[in-house]
């Protein structure tokens, strides 16, 4: 799972949700994900948490992932919050809590 600085609170909640269900999840910032993609040490499934304001760094991560060999291309699931950076972590946290209630 990779997140932008604004989405850190939601990423922490989502990680605890996965850990409660015994799912191993590695978390990093989008900048850390870009470094991992360049070395090829990345999982097959990636969850991205970001807002409109931070889309530039995510676009770079998507590009690097697409440049990997087709057999190694990761599947990316994105939680793209199209709202201002002040309320985005709140809305994302509500979504994570809703997921936990299912």
Alpha helices in the chain (DSSP H): 8-20, 30-39, 55-66, 88-101
Q: Among residues of the chain, what percentage have pLDDT more than 70?
A: 97
pLDDT tens digits for 83-101? 988 999 999 999 988 988 8
Give the integer Cα–Cα distance in Å for 83 and 55.
12
Residue 93 bridge partners (DSSP)? none
CA 4/CA 98 separation, integer angstroms: 21
Q: What pTM was estimated for this model as a whole?
A: 0.85
Q: Are 65 and 73 in contact (CB under 8 A)?
A: yes
38-78: pLDDT as tens digits = 887 778 888 999 999 999 989 998 888 888 756 677 788 99
């Amino acid at each position: 799972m990779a997140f932008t600085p604004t989405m850190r609170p939601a990423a922490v909640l989502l990680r605890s949700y996965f850990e409660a269900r015994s799912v191993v999840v590695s978390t990093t910032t989008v900048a850390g994900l870009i470094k991992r993609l360049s070395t090829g040490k990345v999982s097959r499934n990636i969850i991205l948490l970001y807002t409109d304001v931070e889309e530039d760094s995510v676009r770079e991560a998507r590009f690097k992932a697409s440049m990997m060999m087709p057999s190694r291309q990761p599947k990316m699931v994105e939680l793209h919050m199209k709202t201002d950076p002040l309320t985005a972590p709140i809305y994302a946290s509500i979504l994570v809590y809703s997921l936990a209630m299912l």
